[in-house]
Each structure stands twice: as structure tokens, then as C-alpha cells.
Structure 1
Amino acid sequence: MGDWLDHAKAIEELERERCIQAQLARPRPSGPSRSHCLDCDDEIPASRQALGGKTRCVPCQSFFEKGVHR
């Protein structure tokens, strides 16, 4: 009975590793960050700006990644 569970767990671990590797392979923003959000014009926190290449505040970036247009 444990055989199918072991197989399912192995598949899940492989898929998780594949997803992590795909995320790490994506190009990361570089260069200076904007001081204000591209979408809402609110100030981007200094801690986020320090990461480099940031153009949106966290809420607007979340909407952008989900494909939601406000």
C-alpha cells in the first residue's frame, strides 16, 4: 500500500525541485529601483528599493504578476 504513496511523494519532490529551478533561472531585475511605483505612484519603501530594479510597490507588483489590471 505504501508503494503508490512513495511514488506520489517522489513525483511531488521532483516537481517541486523543477519549479524551484525554473524560478531561479528567471532573469532578475537589475539596476536602480524607482522611488515611486510605476502604477500607483506611491513611494516604494527603501528596503524594497535596496533590492535593485524594482519598479512597483508590493501590492501593484502582486496585481501585475496575477495579470490583474486596476
Structure 2
Amino acid sequence: MNPPPQNSAQMPDELKARKLHLNGIIVGIAGMKKLNARANEITKVETLTIDAIKAELDFIDIQLKRKGG
């Protein structure tokens, strides 16, 4: 895990950057599914991965609300 930031004012920016990155991963997964027509069904691993990313996004939203970001 990453060490906590030195400046607490930087934390909302880091959380926002992480949120953008995780959203990009979800979009990338969706894009790969569209490109590969034979892989229309979502595997259990993909479902678990997407669920974990969404849970992390929810956690980031909570942290941003606490920090006022």
C-alpha cells in the first residue's frame, strides 16, 4: 500500500486521480468486450473484478466527502 501523503491537502487530488484511473479500467474492460464479439458472456473473474473496483470507487467517494473534495 502507498504511504500516506505528506500534505493532507494533496489527498483529495490523489483520490480523484485514483477514481479516474479505476473508471478507466472499467471502461477498458467494457471496450474489450465490444471488440471481442465471441466473448459476450462475462466470466466470474470479470464480475468479481468489476465489483471490487466499484466497491473501491464507493470508498473513494466516501473519503472525498469527508475531506471536502
In which range does the TM-score fall when normalised by the shorter chain? 0.3 to 0.5
Give the TM-score, by structure 1 length. Answer: 0.37
**Pair member with larger Rg:** 1
TM-score (norm 2): 0.38
Of structures 1 and 2, the one scoring higher in RCO (CA 8 A, sep 6+) is 2
More helix by share: 2
